[in-house]
Amino acid sequence: MSLVTAAAAALAVSMTVISPAAAAPSATAADPSPNPTAFVLERFRPASQAQGDRGAVTYDSALVPTTAVALVAELRLPGKWHGEMRDHEMREQGEHGKHGMPPRGTFVFLALRGVEPDHHFGIHVHTRPCGTRPDSSGPHYQNMKDPEQPSTNPKYANPRNEMWLDVTTNSRGDARAKSLVKWHFRAGEARSVVIHEHGTSTHQGRAGMAGDRVACINVPFK
């Protein structure tokens, strides 16, 4: 079983045990293991109670109520990258590779519980911590930075150069997303996961846009 598969399995199991009651207001922890990881389990607070670079806040309690819970886990894969591979080839190599080494990259898993049911949310990693204002979290994290900001060019604003975690919630308002990219975050430059009001556009001039920022989760990405 590859590291990615194992992590996904472990996280899927962890999701079966989280509940709003299990989420302490500040259950943020960093794991200093050889594969650096970040793990955050938070209940959303009103934006007026934003606390520096900790916790999660909601700017729209109709879509993301203060009873909702978010789990974000990052796994940084330090392995070597063997040439140009597509995502499915990368997973196959992780599964069956002769090198016994997972590929280099960053895996992020997100789970939401108790947000707006049957709704499509655009979700991305942003560069700044959450704050009292929706725009506190700054622009999207980009591996290759678009010289033109705000970035709406699909050459830069895409889910291979940014970390996108869009979800569609079920009838209970629960959802999960995961994404695997080929790069690592630059230290201190990826600080939050932002939930937007609708799905993320991929069209020229609108790429990466997903409407208003409705909630934000601080994550100390490694």
Nearer CB in complex with Cu ion: 53/85: 53
Nearer CB in complex with Cu ion: 81/183: 183
Residues within window 92-131 making contact with Cu ion, judged by CB under 5 A:
124
Residues within window 50-89 making contact with Cu ion, judged by CB under 5 A:
none
Q: How many residues bind Cu ion (CB under 5 A)?
A: 2
Within its chain, how far is the Cα of 58 from the centroid? 16
Smallest distance, Å, CB 74 to Cu ion?
Answer: 17
Question: Nearest to Cu ion by Cβ — which residue?
Answer: 124
**What proportions of the chain, in percent to the nearest 5, are helix, strand and coil?**
15, 30, 55
Smallest distance, Å, CB 150 to Cu ion?
Answer: 11
Residues within window 165-194 making contact with Cu ion, judged by CB under 5 A:
194
Nearer CB in complex with Cu ion: 42/166: 166
Residue 157 token pair: 């604003």
CA-CA distance, 198 to 196, in Å (whole number)?
Answer: 6
Smallest distance, Å, CB 65 to Cu ion?
Answer: 20
Nearer CB in complex with Cu ion: 102/134: 134
Nearer CB in complex with Cu ion: 77/123: 123
CA-CA distance, 34 to 29, in Å (whole number)?
Answer: 16
Nearer CB in complex with Cu ion: 172/206: 206
Smallest distance, Å, CB 216 to Cu ion?
Answer: 9
CA-CA distance, 81 to 175, in Å (whole number)?
Answer: 31
Smallest distance, Å, CB 210 to Cu ion?
Answer: 6
- Coil, strand or helix: which one is 29? strand
Cα–Cα nearest to 62, from 119, 5, 135, 107: 119
Smallest distance, Å, CB 192 to Cu ion?
Answer: 9
Cα–Cα nearest to 126, from 118, 136, 117, 116: 136
CA-CA distance, 190 to 38, in Å (whole number)?
Answer: 11
Smallest distance, Å, CB 71 to Cu ion?
Answer: 19
Q: For the chain, how big is the Rg over CA atoms in Å?
A: 17
User: With binding defined as CB under 5 A, does residue 163 bind Cu ion?
Assistant: no
b/e map of 105-118 (b: 16 or more CB within 10 Å)?
A: bbbbbbbbbbbbee
Nearer CB in complex with Cu ion: 116/166: 166
Residues that bind Cu ion (CB under 5 A): 124, 194
